Amino acid sequence: MTDFTQLGVKDIRDGVAGGDFTAREVAESFNAAVAAAAELNAFIVTTPDHALAAADAVDAKRAKGESLGKMGGVPIGMKDLFATKGVQTTAASHILEGFKPEYESTVSQNLWDAGAGMLGKLNLDQFAMGSSNETSYFGNVNSPWKKEGTNSAMSPGGSSGGSSSAVAARIAPAATGTDTGGSIRQPAAFTGICGIKPTYGRCSRWGVVAFASSLDQAGPMARSVEDCAIMLEAMAGFDPKDATSLQMDVPNWEAALNADLKGKKVGIPKEYRMDGTDQAILDSWEQGKAMLRDAGAEIVDVSLPHTKYALPAYYIIAPAEASSNLARYDGVRYGLRDLPDGAGLQDMYAATRAAGFGDEVKRRVLIGTYVLSAGFYDAYYTQAQKIRTLVAQDFEKAFAECDVILAPTTPTASFPLGSLDADPLTMYLNDVFAVPASLAGLPAMSVPAMLNPDGLPLGLQLVGKPFDEQGVLDAGLAIQQRAGFEAQPEKWW
C-alpha cells in the first residue's frame, strides 16, 4: 500500500481530482496511520468507515465526471467539540460521554458537502478549556514532538491538542480546531503546523459545543498556509441558524493567495515584548520581520497599549460566558445523570455536575459564576467588557498604520505534560499573545517559523483587519516560503 500520509489537503485534492490516486487509497492510508498512533491519544473515537464512505462517494463522483468539491477526497480529523450526527460528541467530558447528537454541526456538514471525510473525533481540553490538552476526561494528548535528548511526553498545546498532534504526526492531513483565546494558534505553534482563526462570525457556531460564545470561532489546522486557505473556504459561510454569523460571501482565498507583500505594511506591537518571553521566541520574531521585509513589506512599529489587560479581561469574560453556557449540562435531558438514592433535583444537579465536569471546567464555572454575581458584576464583568472595547480600539488604531500585525504566537515553546499542573496562572499565560485578537474578533494565524535550540517548533502569529483573512494568509505564505519549515517529529509511537 502506498503511503499517502505525507500529503496535505491540496496534494490530496488535486491528486484525486487528477486521477493520480483514489480517495479510497488515501482514506485507507490515513485510517491505518490513525490506528497505529493510539499512543498519541489524539482521537477519542475513530470513524474509519466514515472516511471510507466519503472517499468512495468522491471516487464515484469522479467516475461520473462530477465536481468533487473543495475538499474532495480529503480525510480530516474533527475536533470533538463539533456535533456529528450519530457519532459520539463529548467535548472531551464525562458529562457528555456517550452522547450521540441527532444533528450535524454546520461547519462539519459544510466539510462533508465539500467532499471531506472523517477519520475520527479528536481529543481536546475538556469543553475547550485548557492550553495543554491535559484537561480531557479521555486522557492527555501527546505531542509527537520530543524535547531533544529527553523522552518526556510533551504538550501538543490546547485546547485543539488532538488536532495539532494528529496533523503534526501525519495521521491526518488537516483537522478542525476551535479558537476561543488561542486554542487553534497555540497548539499549531507548539507542533509546527499552521492554524487560522478567522474573523468572528465567519464560521457558524451552530452545533459547536459552546465554551464562550462571544469568542468561539472554528478554523482549520493543517500543514501549510494553502491547505488552511482551502479548508477555511469549505468551513466558512453565512448560517441563518447562528445570529452572530457574518452575512458575507466567502472569498476565494486559495485562488487569491499572494506572497508578494510590496506596498503592505507590517505592524510590530511593542507591547508584545514581554518579560518572561523566551529568547528563541524573540529571535524568531526578528526573523519573521526580516522575512516579511524580504517579501516586500514595510515594517512599522505600532502600539497596542491595553495588551497587558487583555488576558485578565479574557479570564473574566470567557469563564462568565462558560458558566452560563455549561448550565445546560444538568442531567435532566441527556448525558450523564448521577441520581443518588433519595436525591432531589438540587442533589441530582450537584452530583451530576460534580462527577461530570473536570477540575479545570469547575474552576472556570466557579470563576464565571463569581464574576457575574450581584455585587461583583460591575467590578469584573463590566470592567472586562470595557477593556475588551479598548483592546479592539487599540487594533483599530494600529490598523490605521499597518495592514497586518506580526507577533509571536506563544511566549514559550511546548512544555512537558504535567509540568504546569500546580500552576493554572502560568498555564493561562500561554495565551497572552493570542487573546487580544480573540477579544477583538480579528482573523489571526500561526505559521511555523523555526525550531528552538531544544528542537521544538516555534510559531509566528499574524493578526489581520476584520474580514481580511486574505491579508493574514498572504503574510503567512510569505513566511512559510522563507522559513522553509520542513522539520517533522521523529516517529516514536
- In the set 10, 61, 70, 79, the catalytic residue is 79
Q: How far is the CB of 319 from another protein (least distance, A)?
A: 12
- Ranges assigned E (strand) in 198-294: 217-222, 265-269
By three-state DSSP, how is residue 240 classified? Answer: coil
Measured in degrees and rounded to the nearest 5, phi and psi for residue 159 equal -85, -15
Q: How far is the CB of 112 from another protein (least distance, A)?
A: 16
217/412 with CB nearer another protein: 217
- In the set 93, 108, 159, 284, the catalytic residue is 159
- DSSP per-residue letters across 334-375: SS-----TT--HHHHHHHHHHHHS-HHHHHHHHHHHHHTSTT
160/323 with CB nearer another protein: 323
Q: How far is the CB of 178 from another protein (least distance, A)?
A: 11
- DSSP per-residue letters across 78-118: EETTB-BTTB---TT-STTTT---SS--HHHHHHHHTT-EE
489 grid coordinates:
517529529
53/372 with CB nearer another protein: 372
235/456 with CB nearer another protein: 235
Concerning whether 79 is annotated as a catalytic residue, the answer is yes
352/446 with CB nearer another protein: 352
- Ranges assigned E (strand) in 101-227: 117-122, 174-179, 194-197, 217-222
Burial of residue 262 (CB within 10 Å: 0-12, 13-18, 19+) is: exposed
- In the set 131, 163, 183, 323, the catalytic residue is 183
Query: What span, in angstroms and rounded, lies between the C-alpha atoms of 85 and 36?
Result: 26
Concerning whether 159 is annotated as a catalytic residue, the answer is yes
Length of the chain: 493
Site of interaction with another protein (CB under 8 A): 82-83, 89, 91, 96, 99, 101-103, 105, 205-210, 212-214, 240-244, 320-321, 323-324, 326-328, 330, 332-334, 345-346, 349, 369, 372-374, 377, 381
Q: How far is the CB of 354 from another protein (least distance, A)?
A: 14
Concerning whether 397 is annotated as a catalytic residue, the answer is no
Q: In one letter, which amino acid is 304?
A: L
102/249 with CB nearer another protein: 102
Q: How far is the CB of 103 from another protein (least distance, A)?
A: 6
47/89 with CB nearer another protein: 89
Phi-psi bin for 227: left (phi > 0), alpha (psi -120 to 50), beta? Answer: alpha
Q: Are 152 and 146 in contact (CB under 8 A)?
A: yes
Q: Are 228 and 195 in contact (CB under 8 A)?
A: yes
Contacts of 63 (CB under 8 A, 6+ apart): none
State the catalytic residues. 79, 159, 183
